[in-house]
Chain A
Amino acid sequence: MLRLQGVSRRFGAVHAVQDVSLEIPAGQMVGVIGRSGAGKSTMLRMINRLAEPSAGRITFEGQDITALKGQALRDWRTGCAMIFQQFNLVQRLDVLTNVLIGRLNHRRGLFAHLSSLFAQFSAEERAEALSTLDRFGLLATALQRADTLSGGQQQRVAICRALMQKPRLILADEPIASLDPQNARLVMDTLRQVNRQDGLTVLVNLHHLDVARAYCDRLVAMQAGRVVFDGTPSELNAARIEQIYGVSEAEFHGEAHAPAAEAPAFPVQAAAVA
C-alpha cells in the first residue's frame, strides 16, 4: 500500500502539488490524468524522491519514504521503478548495458560496487537482462546502441530496465507522450502486461483520457495541484470532465496536447548526494 498524506510541493510562489492524499493498494493500475501543469509529474517524482515534498508524508507499507537517505533511498528508488517521457536511456550505450543499469543497486559491498564501475556484470545478470528483452521482443536489438532504436522500442527498453530493478511499483511519467499512436498502444500494453502478469502496482501519468480509461483500474484527476476526482474510469465520463475542468472532453484533449513539458525538470543534485 502506497499512501500519500497531505503532500505538497511549492516552487517559489507556485503550488505544483497541494495537499494531495491518496491510498494506492498493491497491484492496482492507476491512471493520473490532468492538463499540463496540473502537478502530475511533480507528484510522481516526489514518490521516487527525484523531487522533495515541501510538506506531507509518503509511506509505503508503513515505511516513511520522505525521510530516506543514502543506501535506504537508493533501495527505495530501486523498488519503485520510474519510466520517463523521454525514456532517459544512455544513448551511446548498447541496449543490454542500458537494461543492466537496472541492476546497479543490486550489487552490494565495495567490491561489487567497484566492479560495476568497470561494467563487470555476471553471466546470470546478462542472461536475465536478455530474457527480459526477449519477453518484449527486443532481443535482436540487445547489442545495438540505444540511439539507433525507435521511440517505442526505447520506451520498452526503459521498461525492461525498470523490471531488472525487481520493483514493487512502477511510476510512469507520461510514458507515451512522445510516441506515435501505434507505439503508444504497444507501450501501454506492455505496462498492463507488467501489471497483470507480474502483479506490480503501476502509477501512470497520462493526459489522454481514452487511453487512461482503456487501461487503468482507477483514475485520479488533478487540477492546479489538487486531486479533483478519484474513482473508476466509468465514473469519469464526459459530463464529469466538463464539471471538473469546465471544458468539454474534446477541448480538454486539445489543451492537454499543447505543451509536453510538465513540471520544471529540476536536477536531482540535492537528492543525488544525500
Chain B
Amino acid sequence: MGIGYADSGAITSLEAAFRAQRAERRRASVVALAILAVCLVAAAWVSEFYPSTLIAGVPRIGEYFHRIAPTLDWRHLFGGVDTDGSLAAWFYRLDSWVLLLLETANMAALGTLGGVVLALPLAFPAARNLGAPNPIRIACRRLLEAMRTVPEIVFALIFVWAFGVGALAGILAIALHTAGALGKLFADAMENVEMRPWEGVHASGGSWFQACRYAVLPAALPDLLSTSLLRFEINIRSASVIGFVGAGGIGEELYQVISFNYYEEISAIVVLLIVTVSLVDLLSEKLRRRVIEAVS
C-alpha cells in the first residue's frame, strides 16, 4: 500500500494516459469500421447486390428445392422402378450414375497422381532452403503459381477443345491444377525439414539430387503423403464439377439434367454426390492416418 500512496501522482497520470490511449484506439477502430462499411456498400452497389433482389430471391431458393424434391410415397417406398413414389423410381438410372461416379472418382485419383508426379520435381528446386540457383528457383515457383492460379474448369475447357469431350481432358485439367497447389505445399514441407542430414550427405560427396533424395525426401515424406491424400478429397469435388464443360464424369450428366429441368433427377444426382464425397472423405481420412502411422 505504501507504494500506492507514494506514487499516487504517477498512477493518476498513467491512468489518464491509459484512458487516452484506449480512447484513441477506439476512435481508430470506429474510423476503420466506417471505411469498411462504405466500401462494402459501394461494392454491393457496383455488383448489383441489392437487398430487394435478395429478399425477392430467397424464397425462390426454397421453391427450387421444393421442385427438385422427389415425390415419394411412403406406402410404395421400397417398390420397383415402375411404382410411382418409390426410391427405385427416383434413382431409376442408378446403374449408369454409379458408373459415372466411379469415372469421377477415377478422374480425381489419376489427376491427383499426375499432379503429385509433376509437383515433386518442381518442389525441390522451389524450396528456399535447398539452395537451387536463383533463376531456377524463381522459375519453378512462378510455374507452380501459374498452375494453381488457373482453375481446373479453365484448364478443362482448353483440354476439351484440344482432346475432345471425355475424361482425359478432366484428368489433365485436375493434374495441372493439383501440381500447382501441391507443389507449393510440398516445397513448404521441405523447407521445414531438419538440415543436418543435408549437410551430412553433402559432406560425404553426394550431389544436390542425392541430397534431395536421401536427406530431404525421407523427412518430408509423411507430410507429402498427407497433403496428397487431402488433395484427393478436394479433387473428388472438382472432378464432379468439371464435367459441366464436357470433361467427363458425373458433372456432364448433372449439367444436362439441370439444363433440361429434369427436377427429380437433379436431386437424385446431388444426393448421390453428397453420399460419395462423404464416403471418400471418410475412407481417405482413415487411409491417411494409416499411411502416416506406417511411414513415420
Contact = CB atoms under 8 A, between A and B. Distances in A.
A228 interface: no
B206 A105 contact: yes
Interface string A80-93: 01101011111111
B88 interface: no
Interface in B196-232: 196-211, 213-215, 218-219, 221
Given A268-B199, A272-B131, A90 B215 contact: yes
A82 B129 CA distance: 21
B209 A268 contact: no
- How large, as a class, is the contact surface on chain A? 35 or more
Contact of A74 (B131, B196, B198, B207): B207
A104 B203 CA distance: 11
A74 B219 contact: no
A272 B202 contact: yes
B209 A117 contact: yes
A50 interface: yes
B268 to A, nearest CB: 48
Contacts of B130: 269, 272
Nearest to A164: B204
Contacts, number: 108
A268 B198 contact: yes
Given A92-B221, A93-B218, A271 B202 contact: yes
Contact of B199 (A88, A91, A102, A104): A88
A189 to B, nearest CB: 22
Given A84-B200, A90-B200, A104-B201, A113 B209 contact: yes
Interface string B132-165: 1100000000000000000000000000000000
7 contacts: A50-B203, A76-B205, A92-B221, A93-B214, A105-B204, A113-B210, A117-B209
Q: Give the top 7 A-B pairs by smallest Cβ distance, nearest first.
A: A269-B131, A88-B200, A78-B205, A105-B205, A82-B203, A77-B205, A74-B205
